[in-house]
Amino acid sequence: MADDDGPATVDRGRMAQVKGAGASMESGLGTRRYVGYGALLLVPPIVQFGLPWVVGRQMPELAYYLMLLAALMASATALGYSRTSAFDRRTVFCLALGLGLWVIGMGNAIANSDAEQNLISTYVYFVSYGLPLLYAAVATRDEPTTTSRRLVDGALLILLVILCYLGVRDLQDDRGFLRSQYEPWVALAFDAENVLLFMAFLVRLLAATDEREYRSFRTVTIFLGAYALASALHNHVEQLTGSVIVGAIADALPTLVFMFLICLLHGNRNPGTFELADRIWARRLAASFAPGILLAAIFALSVGVRGSQGVLGQIVLALAMLTYVIRVVQTQFWFAATRDRLAEALAAVERVSLLDELTGIPNRRAFESALRERLRESMREHKPVSALMIDVDRFKIFNDSRGHLDGDAALKAVARLLAGTLRRPADFIARYGGEEFVVLLPNTAEDGAQVVARRMNRSVYEAALAFDLGIDQRVTVSIGIATSSELDAEGLVRRADDALYRAKAGGRNGYAAAAAVERPVASLP
């Protein structure tokens, strides 16, 4: 016994060793990855504070070169991931585009670093950095993604950039630089933009419906929150504290945030676990705030468009509003088309759900709905409605002797024959279950129902569907008739079912109504 257990014990031990080695390797890779992230984040401050010490002179512009390089690397990283399926492509591409505009703005600022003030165009690029991100936040999956929609959105973004320039153009001096008295207000405008972007992405994060969307918005939301804080410290802390050292530390923060974004993109590139949270309010808010935010952006950027802009400002503002209206119309048209397609799909599902899969006629669910409707009409119009309960005679024996395939074929044939005897569009036939069928005859008294029942008996009998153990070696049916007299649905069906049993007890291949049993069709001349 010990010898038999030995190999199995060794195999289990080896498997445990392999699993342990795999876990250790995975843990080691994770540790090395985080060490790499830490090293990447340490490089910029080491260069910023160490290089001037090495060369022996102050390098105040170095922080801005590092910002430019870090933002360029982050933009390239985001652009690379936007070409893969790792993240939501639209979101990460808009992030790359926004960072690209930020890089242009910083490059413009560095190119004019010998001046005391920044060119107004520099601020336009910095503000425009948020426009692609704003678009990513408001463009939900509930909106169309057609080529025409992309053209409209692209035109709107361009017009918003032009509005941004026109809105701040009056803040520049004769050389194109921002007047110093407006700098605090521009800094506050940057803070407001960053907070708005963070809040918009936070809502989209809470409203995420799948793992990739959640991972994409989580990554960008964390970055935007860190950037909003770093930007606010960079723009205000030196003026508030008057400390050069604190200002130098604040200058290093944006660079660290851009490097942190690179780490975030790399660390979140692989899918993880995701559980859909029950945040209906967030999904509704995300779907509804898009029109409001875009309109607010147009309004905010148009506030600075004054009469000094002349006709150009009015034309750009009018085009922006027109483009926005076209976007809203596109969305409404798409929603209407989606609603119509959904209604058609639901109607198709409803039709399928009300049909019997085997025979193609309505099923019991459809019958119960039709019965309630016919009884309401009967009571309202004071007219009778008759129900016929129909059963294929000796069908269990037929199935046992001929097989289920022949049984299914017989049921389909009987359903077709019974339906063919109905003359009026309002007459209704359904498969009640198994080998039973049911017919509703509105505005039909008992004598009229007997005529229909007799026609059904004869139609099935004369079709001569072969059945060696049936009456005259053929398939036949028995029918029970009930006519409403202030009966509810259950009472009408019960009376028809009782009449059916009387028809079977009377010899089958016939019908029964009230207390009388009619003679079978087989004995008719």
The pTM is what?
0.65
Whole-Å CA distances, 437 to 102, 272, 372, 386:
74, 53, 17, 14
- Tell which residue, 260, 256, 255, has the closest CA to residue 106: 255
Euclidean distance between CA atoms 38 and 262, whole angstroms: 12
Segments of the chain assigned to CATH 3.30.70.270: 364-523
pLDDT at position 500 is 94
CATH number 1.20.1070 is the correct assignment for the domain at 60-332: yes
Catalytic residue among 435, 436, 446, 486: 435
pLDDT at position 7 is 53
Neighbour-count burial of 107, counting CB atoms closer than 10 A to its CB (0-12 exposed, 13-18 middle, 19+ buried) = middle
pLDDT at position 328 is 84
pLDDT at position 523 is 40
pLDDT at position 393 is 93
Among all chains, which residue has been given the structure tokens 């148009």? 302
To which H or E segment does residue 495 belong?
Answer: helix 489-505
To which H or E segment does residue 511 belong?
Answer: strand 511-513
pLDDT at position 517 is 42
Cβ atoms of residues 228 and 195 within 8 Å? yes
pLDDT at position 8 is 52
Neighbouring residues of 128: CB distance < 8 A, sequence distance ≥ 6 = 101, 105, 160, 161, 164
pLDDT at position 13 is 57
CATH number 3.20.20.150 is the correct assignment for the domain at 364-523: no
pLDDT at position 45 is 92
Note if 435 is an active site residue.
Answer: yes
Strands 477-483 vs 511-513: parallel, antiparallel or unpaired: parallel
Amino acid letter, residue 281: W
Q: Where are the alpha helices (DSSP H) in 211-363?
A: 211-241, 244-267, 280-302, 310-353
Digit-by-digit pLDDT tens for the chain (525 residues) are 445 555 555 555 555 554 555 445 455 566 888 899 999 999 999 999 999 888 888 888 899 999 999 999 999 999 999 998 889 999 999 999 999 999 999 998 888 876 566 777 888 888 889 989 988 888 876 666 778 888 888 888 888 888 887 877 777 777 777 777 777 787 888 898 899 999 999 999 998 888 999 999 999 999 999 999 999 998 888 677 767 788 888 889 999 999 999 999 999 988 888 787 777 888 778 777 767 777 777 777 776 666 666 688 788 888 988 988 888 888 888 888 888 888 888 888 887 888 998 998 999 999 999 999 998 888 888 889 999 999 999 999 998 888 889 999 999 999 999 999 999 999 999 999 999 999 999 999 999 999 999 999 999 999 999 988 888 899 999 999 999 866 678 889 999 999 999 999 888 899 998 654 444 443 443
Chain mean position to CA 256: 36
Segments of the chain assigned to CATH 1.20.1070: 60-332
